[in-house]
Structure 1
Amino acid sequence: MTNSIESLLDDLRDGCCARPFDVLGVHDVDYAPSGVDPSRKEKIVRVWRPDALSVHLVDLETGQMPGEMVQVTSGVFERVLDAGSSLHVYRLEIQTKDHQSFTYVDPWQFGAHVFSQVFVEPYRSYRYMGARLVSITAVAGQDVQGAMFRVYAPHARSVALVGSFNGWDARLHPMQASDDGIWRLFIPHVCAGDLYKFELRDLEGTLLPHKSDPYGFYAEQPPGNASIVYDQDRYRWQDSNWLHQGQLQQPVSVYEVHLGSWRREGRREKQLNGEDRWLTYQELANELIPYVVEQGFTHIELLPPMEHPFSGSWGYQPVGLYAPTSRFGSPDDFKAFVDRCHQNGLGVILDWVPAHFPSDPHGLGRFDGTPLYEYADPKRGWHPDWQTHIYDYGKPAVRDFLISNALFWLDCFHIDGLRVDAVASMLYLDYSRAEGEWEPNIHGGNEHLEAVDFLKRLNETVYGHYPDAITIAEESTSWPGVSKPTYENGLGFGYKWNMGWMHDSLEYMKHEPQYRRYHHGELMFSMEYHYSEHFILALSHDEVVHGKGTLLGKMPGDDWRRFANLRAYYGFMFAHPGKKLLFMGAEIGSLTEWNHDDQLDWTLLDDDSERGIFSRGVHKLVRDLNQLYRSHPALYQSDYDSWGFSWVVGDDTEQSVYAFLRRGGSQPPVLVVCNFTPEVRYGYRVGVPTVGKWYELLNTDAAAYGGSGVINADCLNTEFVEAHGYEQSLVLTLPPLGTVFLIPDD
């Protein structure tokens, strides 16, 4: 043999061959084995099967057997073909050293004509990378089914596939390197459901932990953590009549859900009754979707459903960005869940985590022995709060990996929007870092310029392909223009969570009513900056974990006052400009802090005690608020237009009363009045813009909601008494700790 062939075969035996196709498969005779005349242009078939005792070659087209192959060195078998032989595709009949027999289509015969496909579509690399089920037309009437595997590992010395199809023996399937850093191998007869990982060696030849596929579409649960071959095209969608919702002038009311703890099978009254387990995607489709629809929400937002090994991360430390978690079922099951949402008029938003990734050994960290996906410098590449890696946004391959992933969920799973987690941590180089733990950018500032550029590209790409989709930033600072277009030097998001409103309004509600007069501006301050962004008012999972208790627990007073405060607060929230989000459990007035290993306090809705009555009242109120919100354009149509909101009463500090008008298009305005004290305000005069009759649409103190029943039951007529800048006014009875919605008669 030539030295080059001997060197490659040595690499094969040592498990570090980077170019197996250079020596395996069908080749012109490149040396002179015994009895072979190289001048006759004969072909040689070379097979690598280190587990084989004997190998016979069989023509797949004719069924003819040229004969037994000769083992020329350990694990390497050869057969010289007669001159003029027309062998196209072949299989191998193998007898192993432990005397097992099987038939095997040799992958090394599929070379350049299989690998010639070049991926050129930007930000759609998922259509090329990972494990793709393909059919190769090899000879007339003979298609070879299998999977094409591709993985990016430019600094690896070698990459091999291990999986259920080869007994997890890395010797059998070394992959082929290429100049673009992508390793490739087509393996015949690999099917959907087969498990696999990559075995990599770094440049020094050191064996790395087995890695899951960064582009794996389906993943095994721990401790295996293998990727699973999946047919992305098998599911047949039935949501063709669905249109993306979420435009600025549409109602958006989001129910935020952690799928593993919304409800659990086998739990009743907090006692185990049978198997305690997660609901499946199918069960969630049957139970969760009708519930959310009945409650009147327009969208459901899922805490990250991407595969994550640690349940306690709630999905915020994903390892498989391209795989919906298999905790609840298969990717097809998740597609069916989204499909059912759309068929029932619900949009689906996913929490998405491009800010960091965990250091699990089977994940992306030092993937090929180098910091391939993360920054090498820990001042940029390591997150001190979460003990996780930070993506290197300056690398084209990393940007492509992440932006392709965003489009993947929209393309393949029909997702309507992405809420991008921890944006603030991406924007600032000094986020959670003390002096000396970070380095400024090239201009001397703390802005993470590469992350800024990435976020702009992300939003431009998403909206370029899906103009009606939405992207949402969880951004807790005053970074300017988060939801401004990139052509106006914004980040390009559709919406931004209003963390300031959440903080200020909850701080106000925590005060005892008699002290609220000293904090009157806390509820008004949000309108000072509201039009700077497209805000979503979010009462998210972050407010009910880590010792923060529940929303109900933040309210002062006895049970009656706590529930009344909560109802009035929800009324204020649904009346305030901006889209809405509630985390699951908020709609029933949960008494206990959210626990991802448990389920919501569903027993409250069946409780005959006073607390049960109050919880059912909150439950009904949220449903009615959603209905009111969706049916009155004044409450959503001009959320981000200053014409759509005006204060009527903003200076009644002593009585802690607020009144404001909401307007939308040609629809009647809605007057909202809040009384944040437990005192009934009789004969309270409020100026209004329209003469005539006004009706009470909703009152959070109604008996149906567990309130005291202080309502304005009859039609209210305006009086020609000037008040608050209007020539006419209404005289109202304001309920204790209540919010009232009123509308003029058409």
Structure 2
Amino acid sequence: MTDPYIEAHRDAIDRRIALIERTARQLAGDHADLADFAAGHEYFGLHFRDGGWVLREWAPNASAMHLVGQLSDWQVRDDLAFQRLDAHGTWELRLPADAMGHGDLYRLHLQWPGGGGDRIPAWARRVVQDPDTLIFNAQVWRPDTPYQWRSDPFTPPQGAPLIYEVHIGMAQAEGRVGTYAQFTAEVLPRVVAAGYDTLQIMAIPEHPYYGSYGYHVTSFFAPASRFGTPEELKALIDAAHAAGLRVLIDLVHSHAANNEVEGISRFDGTDYQFFHSGDRGRHVAWDSRLFDYGKPEVLHFLLSNCRYWLDEFRVDGFRFDGITSMLYLDHGLGKAFTSYDDYFNANVDEDALCYLALANQVIHAVQPEAITIAEDMSGMPGLARPREDGGIGFDYRFAMGVPDHWIRLAKDTPDEQWHMGGLWFELNNRRHDEKTISYTESHDQALVGDQALVFRLIGDAIYDHMHRDDRHPQVERGVALHKMIRLITLATAGHGYLNFMGNEFGHPEWIDFPRPGNNWSYHYARRQWHLVDDPDLKYRQLDRFDKAMIALARQWAVPGSAAPRLLWEHDEDKILLFRRAGLIFAFNFHPTRSFSDYRFPAPEGHYGIVLDSDDGAFGGHGRVDHAVDHVTLPEGADPHIIHRLSLYLPNRTALVLAPQGSS
């Protein structure tokens, strides 16, 4: 790693590298490599093998295990008793082919010293909820015709990812849970038309509480059945691939749901099978269980889970959720990371760090073109550096300070007081030896109790003044800033950009899933696509700008190019001008002042406007003449001195200029 502050902690880094390498060797054992070891999903769980059924689970503390379900009228029977294969705690049951059929429901009944109870198999691939009793059960899933992949092989798009973050359930407009099939038919075409090249899907692994946003996982190998069947999820991914989009899913290995019957907490009667025992095994703030990443069986489970989604559903990578919580024993709660000592002291869970490195090793061995993204707010160095450089191996990390800064500005500071130098610093404050993905707002910034950025900017006027001909001042301000904020975030993004579905067109209000506090309403757990479909509303104009912005970023490969170079910054004028990927980006954040002849240093040449946030098509005032040939002029008589460009910069407007004759 090239960070000069790292050298003082070389001993800690060497110790971590040694732990990673030693653990990888120990886990792989007789296997050819770690990826072969991470295939537990092909051994554990329910499988149809050699003309019959075989079901295996790991439960070291269990004294007996039985299969119960529709085949036994939910009664414990001796002929459905598992055999313990070894002292390690592997249990196995073999049944003839006619014992169970596609769609049958089942679960396990375990006994352990001092008690017993029903459990959903930890390795179950299909779990469903009875709509009347609300009880969860595993389900035999063996359709007559296996899914036939059409987009095979798939070559992911090259370059920096432009990510469209989605939630299947809330991706539709009706007050109900959306489905994989509905998303494929109705929403996926919108993503393709918007120009994004990557889908990032939330809440795929099974979670019993819809309002957990998918973060309280109970069945790690089962795609959420409330959205449809595994085949329908595969069809969604297949259709995305056919359209040229890679597909990422959220992987929640930072914690697990507390649930004991439908989850894996106290699966074999102990609180320490998968998790740390006692207080260390419980995340009080999240009301969830914490994995013991030092346990080989836990590593087998989680690493196999990584491979499972790659093998079975052909996903193209993962966003690893809650990395900060994993990395620190205090979970980083309420902590300001102000010193490098914070990254290398006894508060760091080096077993968790080791797991993350091994997960990246497995993922990239199975699918070399897969991408992994770390969601870490602490700034832990090396997360997105290659293993050979002493890093953990993620491909990208999120620039989580950027959306936080935008929310703070929108919430606490009038835009006439926004400090241009501070803004430039925040947008570019990242580890330059690690790839980062920037965003204005993800789903996090729009949750209940907070507000989407557009709602912060416009307020209640969004309900009555979004007609394209309505010039309400608060709406005018919000629409102008919404475009500028998104463009400058994308233009300064290190190596990728993310947007949450609907935010590109200024989706109003917040996100709130059905819960007791809102009388189980779906009103805020949906996307109001009719707003952007209405040509008479400003939402359509914001959407049109986002499409143009994304198209420009793709054409010029803006994220991923060399870092932006500041040309001019003036706080009193509220001006930021910079150059990147051959383009000149000009921002006038001043609320009232326009500049008719603003001069600033620029590379010699002729420039033409290729994007104008004030364009009437984007809800602007159309004050800029796009036909003007902007020519740099030397300052003084000596042609070798600095050249300057002169621009008309209307207030609250962003312009992008390209060298003329370029494409």
TM-score (norm 1): 0.75
Code of the residue aligned with 1:181 in structure 2: it is: G
* Structure 1 Cα separation of the partners of residues 379 and 334 of structure 2: 20
Q: Which residue of 2 aligns with 1:699?
A: 612
Cα deviation, 1:290-312, whole Å, max 9, x if unaligned, reads 11001111111111211111000
For 1:655, the equivalent position in structure 2 comes to: 573
Determine the C-alpha separation between the residues in 1 that align with 2:39 and 2:484. 47
Match of 1:324 in 2: 223
The residue identity in structure 1 corresponding to 2:506 is G
1:541 corresponding residue in structure 2: 443
How far apart in 2 are the matches of 1:582 and 1:426? Answer: 25
Does residue 176 of the first structure (1) align with residue 75 of the second (2)? Answer: no
Specify which of 127, 137, 142 is matched with residue 231 of structure 1.
142
State the partner residue of 1:599: 526
Residue in structure 2 matched with residue 47 of structure 1 by the alignment? none
Partner residue of 2:282 out of 344, 357, 382: 382
The answer (yes or no) to whether the contact 2:490–2:559 under 8 Å persists in 1 is no
- For residues 653 and 161 of structure 2, the distance between their equivalents in structure 1, rounded to whole angstroms, comes to 24
For the structure 1 residues 420 and 682, does the alpha-carbon distance in structure 2 shift closer, same or farther, using more than 3 Å as the test?
same
Aligned pairs for 1:302-701 within 5 A: 302-362=201-261, 363-431=263-331, 445-510=346-411, 511-517=413-419, 520-538=421-439, 539-555=441-457, 558-578=474-494, 579-596=496-513, 597=522, 598-606=525-533, 613-633=537-557, 635-638=558-561, 643-650=562-569, 652-663=570-581, 669-678=582-591, 679-691=593-605, 693-701=606-614
Whether the 8 Å CA contact 1:159–1:199 is kept in 2: the answer is: yes
Task: Please tell me whether the aligned partners of residues 254 and 582 of structure 1 are also in contact (alpha carbons under 8 angstroms).
Answer: yes
**Residue number in structure 2 paired with 1:217:** 125
Structure 1 residues 240, 376: closer, same or farther in 2, change over 3 A? closer
- Residues 410 and 453 in structure 2, CA contact (< 8 A), matched pair in contact too: no
How far is 1:490 from its partner?
A: 1.7
1:262 counterpart (163, 171, 179): 171
Asked if 2 retains the 8 angstrom alpha-carbon contact of 1:712 and 1:733, the reply is: no
Higher mean C-alpha deviation, range 470-479 or range 591-600: 591-600
What is the Cα deviation at residue 121 of structure 1? 3.5
- Hey, what's the Cα distance between the residues in 2 that align with 1:722 and 1:586? 43
Deviation at 1:347, TM superposition (A): 1.1
Query: What is the RMSD of the two structures over their aligned residues, measured on CA atoms?
Result: 2.4
Q: Which residue of 2 aligns with 1:81?
A: none
Matched residues in 2 for 1:147 and 1:686: separation?
Answer: 74
Cα offset, 1:125, TM superposition: 0.5
Q: Which structure's residues are more often strand, by fraction?
A: 1
Contact 1:420-1:472 within 8 A present in 2 as well: yes
Residue type matched to 1:628 in 2?
Answer: L
> Is the contact made by 2:47 and 2:55 (CA closer than 8 Å) also made in structure 1?
yes
Kept after mapping to 2: 8 A contact 1:508/1:522: no
Aligned residue in 1 for 2:52: 146
More helix by share: 2
How many residues align structurally? Answer: 582
Aligned to 2:102: 192
**Alignment partners' CA distance in 1, 2:313 and 2:511:** 28
Specify whether residues 120 and 169 from structure 1 end up closer, same or farther in structure 2 by C-alpha distance, changes over 3 A only.
farther
Match for residue 40 of structure 2? 125
Q: Secondary structure at the match of 1:255?
A: strand
Encode CA deviations 1:636-683: one digit per residue, 9 max, x unaligned: 342xxxx44211113x111111111112xxxxx011111111322211
CA contact (8 A) 2:35 2:362 kept: no
Superposed displacement of residue 375, structure 1: 3.3
Once the two structures are superposed, what CA deviation does each residue of 1:420-450 show, in whole Å capped at 9, x if it has no partner?
A: 0000000001126799xxxx99x96100111
Corresponding letter in the other structure for 1:688: A
Question: 2:137 is aligned with what amino acid?
Answer: A
Amino acid at match of 1:196: Y
Cα distance between partner residues in 2 of 1:655 and 1:357: 50
What is aligned with 1:201?
A: 111
Deviation at 1:719, TM superposition (A): 3.4
What is the aligned-residue identity percentage?
29
Aligned partners of 1:296 and 1:626 also within 8 Å: yes
Q: Which of these residues, 185, 188, 194, is aligned with residue 295 of structure 1? A: 194
Decide whether the 8 Å contact of 1:423 with 1:475 is kept in 2. yes
**Amino acid across the alignment from 1:546:** V
Provide the rounded CA distance (Å) in 2 between the counterparts of 1:602 and 1:375: 42
Task: Measure, in 1, the Cα distance between the counterparts of 2:409 and 2:156.
Answer: 36
**SS at structure 1 position matched to 2:596:** strand
Cα gap change, 1:739 to 1:319, in 2 (>3 Å): same
Q: Secondary structure at the match of 1:595?
A: coil
Distance 1:558 1:308 in 2: 40
**Contact 1:304–1:353 (CA under 8 A) maintained in structure 2:** no
**Corresponding residue for residue 519 of structure 2:** none
Q: Please give the alpha-carbon distance, in whole angstroms, between the structure 2 residues aligned to 1:719 and 1:132.
A: 70
Deviation, 1:528, is 4.2
Question: Higher relative contact order at CA 8 Å, sep ≥6: structure 1 or structure 2?
Answer: 2
What's 1:738 paired with? 653
- Return the alpha-carbon distance in structure 2 between the equivalents of residues 121 and 741 of structure 1: 50
Structure 1 position 471, deviation (Å) = 0.6
Secondary structure of 1:126 counterpart: helix
8 Å CA contact 1:718–1:728 kept in 2: the answer is no
Is the deviation greater in 183-192 or in 550-559? 550-559
CA offset at residue 509 of structure 1?
4.5
In structure 1, distance between residues paired with 2:257 and 2:41: 21
Aligned counterparts of 1:466 and 1:422: Cα–Cα separation in 2: 23
Change (3 A) 1:617 1:433: closer
2:176 matched residue in structure 1:
277
TM-score, normalised relative to structure 2: 0.84
Distance 1:553 1:434 in 2: 26
Q: Tell whether the 8 Å contact from 1:687 to 1:726 is kept in structure 2 after alignment.
A: no
Aligned-pair distance for 1:626?
Answer: 1.2
Q: Would the aligned equivalents of 2:401 and 2:426 in 1 still touch at CA under 8 Å? A: no
**CA distance in structure 1 between the aligned counterparts of 2:608 and 2:35, rounded to whole angstroms:** 61
Could you tell me which runs of 5 or more consecutive residues in structure 1 were left unpaired when the two chains were aligned: 1-118, 136-144, 268-275, 664-668
Greater Rg by CA: 1
**Stretch deviating more after TM superposition (150-159 or 168-177):** 168-177
Q: 1:603 to 1:726 in 2, by over 3 A?
A: farther
| CA 1:623–1:317: 2 relative to 1, 3 Å | same
